[in-house]
Amino acid sequence: MEITSPRNPRLKLVRRLQKSARARRESGLFVAEGVRLAEEALRAGLPARFVLFVEGLSPRGLAVVEGYRARGAEIWPLSSEAMRSVSATETPQGILLVLPFPALPLPSKPDFALILDGVRDPGNMGTILRTAWAAAVQAVYLIGGCVDPFNPKVVRAAMGAHFHLPVRQSSPERLGGMLGGARVYLAAAGEGKPYTQADFRRPLALLIGGEADGVSEAARRALRPSPVHIPMPGGAESLNAAVAAAVLMFEVVRQRSTG
């Protein structure tokens, strides 16, 4: 039966999850919206609490619906008006999944990890997670008041990284014992050696600071990172956090691929 009422309990839950980090934490659920994200969730084997879709969904979207139906998930058709009432986008694609937080294990001794300190912009966070997935980062640790990694804007920008890459909240003090001896490198404008001169072949964690304040003193004290910088001959004061993270992550990939 098609859901048409915005007062439907499932739609009320979706709206809470879209708007509230607390609701996501307390329920252990988040929202993935759009065909491509839904395809990636299905491909990754993530179970769905329920799936909402509109009639007239694209064949790719309908294939996801049928894939989840075959796995025993709740499937609910919605009217277009009802979908618009729960969508976090201006132009809904017609499919929305409510998913549990992925239970991805952390490596005991990560060879390549990423630490984000105070990254508050959802677009930057999502872009960093997507890039980390592409670069085969093994774990991402969040410290210093980062944006909720399951914020809808983060999830959309990450494009499926959440289904493959373990992401954990931590603190600088606890994190030291979770890195298994990996060396921490700090991206810092004008500090340390140029990043291409650092040895990124050994186990490491890259530490990236937030857009406004950079890396906190608490992180510097607890993690004792080695600073590296990205030379900027054009004279700009700094790079966007997501861009700096991408440059450093793929320098790790480059060094390790060339022996």
Same fold, 9-100 and 112-257: no
**What is the pLDDT, as a whole number, of residue 259?**
63
Asked if 182 contacts 110 with a C-beta cutoff of 8 angstroms, the reply is: yes
Is pLDDT of 58 > 80?
A: yes
**Alpha carbons 210 and 219: distance in angstroms, whole number:** 12
**What is the pLDDT, as a whole number, of residue 213?**
80
What length does the chain have? 259
**Alpha carbons 25 and 5: distance in angstroms, whole number:** 26
Is pLDDT of 121 > 90?
A: yes
Question: Vertex 168, ends 137 and 104: CA angle to 5°?
Answer: 70
Whole-model pTM: value is 0.94
**Alpha carbons 107 and 9: distance in angstroms, whole number:** 38
What residue segments make up the domains of the chain, in order of their start?
9-100, 112-257
**Interaxial angle between packed helices 35-43 and 59-70, expressed in degrees from 0 to 180 and rounded to the nearest 10:** 30
**What is the pLDDT, as a whole number, of residue 102?**
96
Is pLDDT of 211 > 90?
A: no
Q: What is the pLDDT of residues 168-182, one digit of tens each?
A: 999 999 998 889 899
**Mean pLDDT rounded to a whole number for the chain:** 95
Is pLDDT of 239 > 90?
A: no
**In the CATH scheme, what is the code of domain 9-100?**
3.30.1330.30
Percent of the chain with pLDDT over 70: 100
What is the mean pLDDT of the segment spanning 40-64?
96
Burial label, 245 (beta-carbon count in 10 A; 0-12, 13-18, 19+): buried
Burial label, 243 (beta-carbon count in 10 A; 0-12, 13-18, 19+): middle
**Alpha carbons 239 and 2: distance in angstroms, whole number:** 48
Is pLDDT of 190 > 90?
A: no
CA distances from 59 to 30, 32, 98 (A): 24, 18, 20
Convert 124-154 to b/e letters by CB count within 10 Å (16 or more is b).
bbbbbbbbbbebebbbbbbbbebbbbbbbbb
Is pLDDT of 6 > 70?
A: yes
Convert 3-13 to b/e letters by CB count within 10 Å (16 or more is b).
beeeebebbeb
pLDDT band at residue 258 using 50, 70 and 90 as cut-offs: confident
Structure tokens at 165: 């890459």
Q: What's the CATH number of domain 112-257, 3.40.1280.10, 1.10.260.30, 2.40.50.1070, 1.10.3720.10?
A: 3.40.1280.10
